[in-house]
């Protein structure tokens, strides 16, 4: 494999990328800021109070992957011969790609994750730790929720810690915005029953069903209209803005005396969430990790 690195101005990035992929037999194309980590670096994503972001970087490094050096050389020659590319597009480097076992490399980045000393998330290529009385088998996939993010860990930790006291009442559980289904599976492993896991993303529904089967738990995964009635336990690990918008809907699904567990919230957003949910319940911060917080409430019986 050979990488061809081209220095390309902003207005030609799309043309160069299309030519490499569509006409010059590139196996893949990626684009990076040529000025990254310098004073000229420019953000593409806007922030509140800042000017609107630009569509691209002033100078980009376009990296194309080719099967061999001959194909890469021919591609560079043909590309630079175009009138629109002359004097504007420059070859920065052409170099071999070091062969790696990409599967093994990816797997090495995901080790078992401790939720509590007795509850772990374990990829399929690892043996469960000796201390794991309960564990979720879960590999990285298309849907959010592998246990590596603080919001997921806090939700699972809450489930594990509260289960000895409350799992007997978890006759129905709702995981709203289920992603990989990890929270629904965690609830099932800790005594939750009749579990609905819903998400707006069909890929998440498919992922949840597959992960549930892999862990030997029974649940119903569906699009959001699959949630119906009330539940003694409602879990939602999304983000603060949708959580605020969903306040009436989520609270409407919590049974009297039931628990609401919310995550995806930054510490500075706590007051916003408390205000949004005030008409229905009193949210409190129950856990925090790396700038993220877990907020919970118990509705009045």
pLDDT tens digit at each of 301 positions of the chain: 899 999 999 899 999 999 999 999 999 999 998 877 766 655 554 444 444 444 567 889 999 999 999 999 999 999 999 999 988 999 999 999 877 655 565 555 678 999 999 999 998 888 999 999 999 998 766 556 667 799 999 999 999 999 999 999 999 999 999 999 999 999 999 999 999 999 999 999 999 999 999 999 999 999 999 999 999 999 999 999 999 999 999 999 999 999 999 999 999 999 999 999 999 999 999 999 999 999 999 999 8
pLDDT score of 110: 73
Domain boundaries along the sequence of the chain: 2-99, 109-298
* CA distance from start to end of the chain: 65
pLDDT score of 278: 97
Q: List strands edge to edge, sheet with 59-66.
A: 28-33, 59-66, 2-9, 90-96
237 is in an annotated binding site: yes
pLDDT score of 280: 96
Give me the residues paired with residue 174 across strands.
Answer: 196, 234
pLDDT score of 41: 58
pLDDT score of 141: 61
The Cα 25–Cα 274 span in angstroms is 55
User: What's the pTM value of the predicted model, to 2 decimals?
Assistant: 0.68
pLDDT score of 125: 85
- Alpha helices in the chain, H assignment, sequence order: 13-22, 69-80, 102-108, 150-166, 182-189, 202-214, 240-245, 247-252, 270-277
Identify the CA nearest to 68 among candidates 19, 25, 119: 25
- One of 3.40.50.720, 3.40.1010.10, 3.30.1200.10, 3.30.70.120 is the CATH number of 2-99, namely 3.30.70.120
177 is in an annotated binding site: yes
101 is in an annotated binding site: no
| Angstrom distances, CA of residue 122 to CA of 132, 141, 145, 147, 219 | 10, 14, 13, 9, 20
Q: Encoding tokens for residue 45?
A: 């994503």
Determine the CATH number of domain 109-298.
3.40.50.150
């Amino acid at each position: 494999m050979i990488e061809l690195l081209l220095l390309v101005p902003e207005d030609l990035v799309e043309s160069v990328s299309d030519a490499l992929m569509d006409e010059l037999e590139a196996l893949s194309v990626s684009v990076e800021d040529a000025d990254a980590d310098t004073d000229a670096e420019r953000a593409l994503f806007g922030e509140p109070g800042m000017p609107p972001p630009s569509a691209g970087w002033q100078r980009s490094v376009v990296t194309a992957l080719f099967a061999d050096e001959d194909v890469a050389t021919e591609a560079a020659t043909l590309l630079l011969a175009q009138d629109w590319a002359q004097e504007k597009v420059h070859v920065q480097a052409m170099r071999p790609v070091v062969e790696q076992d990409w599967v093994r490399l990816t797997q090495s980045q995901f080790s078992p994750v401790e939720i509590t000393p007795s509850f772990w998330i374990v990829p399929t290529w690892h043996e469960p730790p000796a201390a794991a009385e309960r564990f979720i088998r879960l590999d990285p996939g298309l849907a959010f929720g592998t246990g590596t993010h603080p919001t997921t860990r806090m939700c699972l930790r809450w489930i594990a810690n509260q289960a000895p006291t409350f799992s007997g009442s978890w006759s129905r559980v709702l995981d709203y915005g289920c992603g990989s289904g990890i929270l629904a599976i965690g609830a099932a492993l800790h005594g939750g029953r009749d579990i609905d896991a819903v998400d707006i993303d069909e890929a998440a529904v498919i992922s949840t069903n597959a992960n549930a089967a892999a862990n030997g738990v029974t649940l119903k995964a569906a699009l959001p209209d699959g949630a119906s009635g009330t539940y003694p336990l409602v879990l939602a690990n999304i983000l603060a803005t949708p959580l605020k918008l969903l306040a009436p809907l989520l609270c409407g699904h919590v049974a009297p005396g039931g628990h609401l567990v919310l995550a995806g919230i930054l510490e500075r957003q706590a007051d916003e969430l408390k205000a949004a949910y005030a008409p229905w319940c009193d949210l409190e911060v129950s856990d925090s990790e790396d700038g993220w917080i877990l907020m919970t409430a118990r509705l009045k019986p």
